[in-house]
Amino acid sequence: MPEGDTVWQTAQRLHQALAGSPLTRSDLRVPRLATADLTGRQVLEVVPRGKHLLTRVEGGLTLHSHLRMDGSWQVYGPDERWRGGPHHQIRAILANAAHTAVGYRLPVLELLRTGDEDRVVGHLGPDLLGPDWDPDEALRRLLADPSRPLGEALLDQRNLAGIGNVYKSELCFLLRVSPWLPIGEVPSPERLAAQAKKLLEANRNRRARVTTGESRRDRRLWVYGRPGLPCLRCGTPVRAADQGSAGQERSTFWCPSCQAGPRGPDPS
């Protein structure tokens, strides 16, 4: 699942493949960009911003994309077979003489002036893997609504950018508090931002995400994706439930023994 570390890795791959060379092919397969052509323009850089990707090209243009749940960018060599999914799922193709970047299942793809990037990312909080990281500002935003459940506050990209569903559940476990605990009641809340940054930095260069310190596939994560399985710390069955306002519910995983506070809804 794409989160801040995945997006950071994707930006690195795209930057290494595309930056510094003119595009020999530009194919943007969304209706509003059907006539847009970036061919001949040099890619200046590809930068991540939270879960957003900004591909800046000469002429003051930025191609903005977002992976959401299952989007991806894949990079291929000249004779390499494309393996990212069916042809009809391709939303963007950017190529130079050496590499081809193919965007699959991209739910967000738009072309804008580079000077207007704030229109799409200006609302984001401090980026956990970005140069603008400010733990004090992140904490201020997190605590602005002290009654909000911790899990919801962590997912809100306006508070701090880069946390998704996996890190939300894992952070709550590591802090030993329920995802339903009001954030204003979290002991030593300054740990939130510090622990979040530590996790994402530890995983930004890994192929497989790890929060437990163990490399075995079934022991890499404490609670995420483990409903009904024994907690790796205490053996209590891990629980799962939806969390969030109507229409924005996200699956949440937690150990009712290791994590203090409200236990969340009963499983249906």
**Catalytic residue positions, numbered:** 2-3, 51, 250
The pair phi, psi for residue 132, each rounded to 5°, is: -90, 10
Q: Which position has the token pair 């506050």?
A: 153
* Residue 1 CA: distances (Å) to CA of 70, 142, 263: 7, 23, 25
Q: Is the dihedral of CA 190, 195, 198, 201 positive or negative?
A: negative
Reduced 3-state DSSP string for 137-163: HHHHHHCCCCCCEHHHHHHCCCCCECC
Report the distance separating Cα 62 and Cα 45, nearest Å: 10
3-state DSSP helix/strand/coil percent for the chain, to nearest 5? 25, 25, 50
